[in-house]
Structure 1
Amino acid sequence: MDKVAIITGAGKGIGKAIAEQLVDDGFKIAVADLDIDSAETTARHLVNARPYKVNVANHDSVSELVHKVVSDYGRLDVMVNNAGITKELTLEEMSEDDFQQLFDVNVKGVLFGIQAAAAQFKQQQSAGKIINAASIGAYSVAEKHSGYSATKFAVRSLTQGAAKELGQDQITVNAYCPGYVETPMMKTILANYAQQNGTTVEEEISRGSQRIALRRPEQPEDVAKVVSFLASDRADYITGQAIVADGGVIYK
């Protein structure tokens, strides 16, 4: 029986790489994104993948997503709560709306994904896997990313709590913590750094790589391999963990 996985924020970046990896692993995939055009583009190039529009900051939208996927595919086995945003702001610069938006997407999006997936797993009377997007920012706070890090610390907390609450139902809940990943979002951040420092994006990538033990920026595919493991039977006895995969930046 083919397993079914939902990945939110799967239209591009890390989410797209996760979708591609899980298709290679034999999953049927729901490519879910707020930007339906990017979801459709990603799904079009994958076998056994369908696009879905979702607003992870809205409880009903996430619940409806799970119902649609189960209606289309018959079941759910893995929920990857990948969607997320960042804002480069000092705490003094951050408005209430900025702070609220970070928590709406990064934290509520994970909470609603946990709730919808857990309800479906219990209805199916089957084991299931929930995998959440955290970050090295869940362990170490970078300048101008305090708000973002606060959301990722919260994701670690939700992951641990859900693992304890859902373990009796054979539902595992884990998180992945990437480092400096070459994604469109990261390149926008690096472009800002380059403008501030009078450098180029390439120079910023080279300088940033010197802080990484492996001396190269992380690729979305590196993150996808970790999610692939957590989604597999090999991770059946792992739960409540936030696994750092950053090439050697922080050590936990």
Structure 2
Amino acid sequence: MKLKGKVAIITGAGRGIGRGIALRLAQDGADVVVNDINSETVNKVVKEIEALGRKAIAIVADVSNGTAVYAMVEQAVAEFGKLDIMVANAGIAQVKQAIEITEEDWDRIFSVNAKGIFLCDQAAAKQMIKQKSGKIINCASIAGHSGFSLLSSYSATKFAVVGFTQALAKELGPFGINVNAYCPGIVGTDMWDLIDEKMGIYLDLPKGETLKKYTELITLGRVETPEDVACLVSYLASDDANYMTGQSINICGGIIMS
């Protein structure tokens, strides 16, 4: 198992992509801190990980709260003795025309998607610098490489994640810490159910038709699964990726090619 003996925190791991990543890293041998804001979902994922024979703890915390994030890292280290992998996955979507976005809308999505990444990375980095090793892996998006209509605020947060990932990689490289990001496309999760519903209002399409329309952009011809994303994160978390840093990698079935 390529992550045997490693300790990972995955934020937003109660469902969707985060759950898929948590289960995959556990299958690879890691012990896992499962974070989300919903205690019911995190406890369920903890049990799934324990069923795989790995150790796991649930930490309910809001990633936009610095005190909570630092306490989460401290608790992880107290429980497992170290922190090898931080997967800053938690995020939210927002579907609106740019001219309709309020200041409150803008502040809310940046608080989770950008500030949350910053706080998780910073807290993890301070621990990893002590260890002189570690992998920080951020959730960006193909919307961090190309802005998408009706997802302007979401796209802006993901461009921010890509930029921060690059800058942090340069700062932490001398300490033996790798910083990368994964950029999913259209993933069959609750988030895309919401995007489908909200976009359908603007596009005058019934529920399910927006997803179908966007699926036509996928070269591989199918909607992405959390497991597809988890395969890339598994690689980035492993020693196989020791010479990769500062990258934001598209994993989208060929919607965007670069």
Q: TM-score, normalised by structure 1?
A: 0.96
Secondary structure class of the residue paired with 1:46: helix
| Aligned partner letter, 1:183 | T
Q: 1:104-151 CA deviation, whole Å, 9 max, x = no partner?
A: 10111111111111111122x231000000000001111111111111
Say if 2:142 and 2:184, in contact at 8 Å, map to a contact too.
yes
Aligned sequence identity (%): 44
The equivalent of 2:26 in structure 1 is 23
Do residues 114 (structure 1) and 121 (structure 2) align? yes
Instruction: Identify the residue that residue 243 of structure 1 maps to in structure 2.
Output: 249
Root-mean-square deviation (CA, aligned residues, Å) is 1.3
Which one-letter code corresponds to 2:10 in the other structure?
I
Letter in 1 for 2:144: A
Structure 1: how far apart are the matches of 2:99 and 2:216? 30
- Could you tell me which residue of structure 1 aligns to residue 165 of structure 2? 159
What are the residue-to-residue correspondences of 1:58-97 with 2, within 5 Å? 58-97=65-104
2:6 maps to 1:3: yes
The alpha-carbon deviation at position 179 of structure 1 amounts to 0.3
Amino acid at match of 1:88: V
- In 2, Cα distance between equivalents of 1:79 and 1:198: 39
In the alignment, structure 1 residue 37 sits paired with structure 2 residue 40:
yes
Q: How does 1:107-146 map to 2 (within 5 A)?
A: 107-123=114-130, 125-146=131-152
- Alignment partner of 1:174: what SS? strand
Match of 1:192 among 194, 198, 202: 198
**Structure 2: runs of 5+ lacking an equivalent:** none
Where structure 1 has 5 or more consecutive residues not aligned to the other structure, the ranges are none
Q: How far did 1:199 drift? A: 3.0
Shift in alpha-carbon separation, 1:96–1:205, aligned structure 2, 3 A: closer
Aligned to 1:168: 174
CA distance in 2, matches of 1:146, 1:207: 19
Over 3 Å counting, the alpha-carbon distance change for 1:140 and 1:166 in structure 2 is same
- Corresponding position of 1:231: 237
Say yes or no: does 1:103 pair with 2:110.
Answer: yes
Q: How many residues align?
A: 250
Q: Distance in 1 between matches of 2:61 and 2:198?
A: 29
Q: For the residues of structure 2 that align with 1:42 and 1:188, how far apart are their CA atoms?
A: 22
Deviations 1:66-124 (A, max 9, x none): 0001111111100000000111011111010100011110111111111111111122x
Q: Distance in 2 between matches of 1:193 and 1:146?
A: 13
- The whole-number CA distance in structure 2 between the counterparts of 1:180 and 1:76 is 30
TM-score (norm 2): 0.94
Give 1:177's match in structure 2, choosing from 180, 183, 188. Answer: 183
Measured in 1, the distance between the counterparts of 2:192 and 2:109 equals 16
Whether contact under 8 Å (2:138, 2:180) holds in the other structure is yes
Preserved CA contact (<8 Å) 2:93 2:195? no
Matched, 1:46 2:46: no
Give the Cα–Cα distance (whole angstroms) in 1 for the partners of residues 249 and 65 of structure 2. 27
Give the Å deviation of 1:25. Answer: 0.4
